[in-house]
Amino acid sequence: MKVSVVDYNIGNIKSVVKALKYLGADVRLAANANDIKTSEKLILPGVSAFGAAMDNLKKLELIQAIQDYIKSGKWFLGICVGLQLLFETSEESPNSQGLKIIPGIVKKMDDTKLIVPHIGWNTIKILKPSIFFKGLSVNENLYFYFVHSYYVCPNDKNVIIAATNYGSDFCSAVEYNNVIATQFHPEKSQNNGLQCLKNFLEL
């Protein structure tokens, strides 16, 4: 199982690589456009501000490469900020444009009523069948680990495959053609997260 992880100087890459290697994957870091182009599967992780993440992708000349990779139809997984970057814009960085893969925006959680960032374990509700969730029981409380202050709002609600409640429901996972992306961190979510990563590797 070969998989590439985009290395663009934005957090949590080591934990993602560690989890993938634990599952027996042949992991490569993709740090330039050719690495991305030649990837069999691609993961975009991230723990950072939306604008800083896009700035790093721009400096490394990876934006077009990622867009072209996704258009090629090969499987792509975004994690945390890697989910948010797939959208058009974010309230976190109003002057920055995202990858514009999924129509919609990224909004800030209501910090007047909630403790923000949302950090820790929370459950997800699977809304639509997805190969990403194969092996997980929809009848159980499925706990995953979150660290975020912003959440995605797709224009087309049909791309939402899981939701999580924190004050109110928000989108915690999407599937859009060959793209899967999560607000939670599967690499930090123990058995449930490892099962999701295993499912992705086996696509």
Per the document, the length of the chain is 203
Q: Are strands 104-108 and 89-90 parallel, antiparallel or unpaired?
A: parallel
Whether 136 and 142 have beta carbons less than 8 Å apart is answered as yes
Set 80, 92, 148, 171: catalytic member: 80
Which of 92, 175, 185, 196 is catalytic? The answer is 185
Catalytic site includes residue 185: yes
Cα dist from 62 to 18, 58, 77, 138, whole Å: 23, 6, 16, 37
* Alpha carbon distance 85, 78 (integer Å): 8
The token duo for 18 is 């560690």
Contacts of 62 (CB under 8 A, 6+ apart): 6, 8, 32, 33, 36
* Given the residues 148, 187, 196, 202, the one annotated as active site: 187
Contact 101, 86 (CB under 8 A): yes
Distance in angstroms (rounded) separating the CA atoms of residues 167 and 169: 7
Q: Pull the structure tokens for residue 13.
A: 């890459």
According to DSSP, the β-strands at 26-30 and 2-6 are parallel
Active site residues per annotation: 80, 185, 187
